[in-house]
Structure 1
């Protein structure tokens, strides 16, 4: 046998093996994609106005990045939520945010800060680790530790419900209040 015949037989065996392998792989399913981390779209450096069912602004969102998930909920990085109130909006900020698919629930996590408009007759602030905000009800709530500050008053407690429109607060448990009278002129 010549070397050309041996080479031809070797190439024929390699071609048959390659064809058989391709035929076997054809029937296997494609690998599943990791849909949990996939985004429908991404917005960067944006401002979004969310309208309520009555067509009135319920919340305004500003952020360096928003990712819409396949389930239509949205993850927001370093969000600033502006909740309408009189005389000016509440400013809610955090490290991360999440918006439900229907826009009825906003979650803020990590260094949550709520600041009333400084022009308000009763300016106030609160700080906590996690907060849920229901824009249609003007309701902010948490079950975590909260520090609430108003002129001359500092309150801490565990759990809070606040109506941001009427500026009524309710600390739920372990409430401590400290009065800090302003200095006399």
Structure 2
């Protein structure tokens, strides 16, 4: 006598399938949504689109050019709706004139472009290219025209180098405030020998 006949196995499979279907339907009727069969959701961990050698322009409310962004690659992460950037370069404008150039090795855009986190060898250069600021990380808020960091900062001018920890910048007025442990070195320009 067979312990498990074909009929007995088929009945067991049908009962198990019915139980799984019952659990699925109960979950559906309780929540009104289809239950997730896999909690890992691997698709949300991968970008749902990417661009190579990206170039984009942003305009202000009056239609004037506000910002240009160039990036070696752009990836959208659906899990947190962020955008990852590789070697991003930003050009900021005011009244149609370039005010700042900012570049980094990597970055992340959050809140649909309201916050940008730049990391690794961040350099910020003003329009006259007479001064530059270097830091490992910089947060930019394009709508507010503000930038800040809590990291070390090196500010270079033609005749001076200033180092600090932490910085806040108003990108419209070009006013930079160094926050803590500020120290600098100034080298005056030598006057020519025939100057009176």
Give the TM interval when normalised to the shorter protein.
Answer: 0.7 to 0.9
Distance in 1 (CA, whole Å) between partners of 2:158 and 2:44 is: 45
**Number of positions where the alignment pairs a residue of Structure 1 with one of Structure 2:** 177
Distance in 2 (CA, whole Å) between partners of 1:34 and 1:54 is: 42
Corresponding residue for residue 85 of structure 2: 76
Distance in 1 (CA, whole Å) between partners of 2:61 and 2:109 is: 16
Give, in angstroms, the shift of residue 151 of structure 1: 0.6
Runs of 5+ unmatched residues, structure 2:
25-34
RMSD across aligned positions (CA): 2.9
Compare 79-88 and 44-53 and name the one that shifted more: 79-88
Of the three residues 133, 157, 168, the one matched with 1:150 is 157
Distance in 2 (CA, whole Å) between partners of 1:151 and 1:183 is: 13
Of the three residues 62, 67, 71, the one matched with 2:75 is 67
Given the two structures, how large is their TM-score scaled by the length of structure 2?
A: 0.74
Compare 38-47 and 80-89 and name the one that shifted more: 80-89
1:12 equivalent in alignment to 2:19: no
Corresponding residue for residue 130 of structure 1: 137
1:49 equivalent in alignment to 2:57: yes
* Deviation string, structure 1 residues 17-37 (Cα, Å, up to 9, x no partner): 222232233334422325763
Tell me: higher relative CO, structure 1 or 2? Use CA pairs within 8 A at least 6 residues apart: 1
Distance in 2 (CA, whole Å) between partners of 1:154 and 1:87 is: 27
Partners of 1:67 and 1:74 within 8 A in 2: yes
Distance in 1 (CA, whole Å) between partners of 2:171 and 2:151 is: 18
Given the two structures, how large is their TM-score scaled by the length of structure 1?
A: 0.77
1:95 equivalent in alignment to 2:105: yes
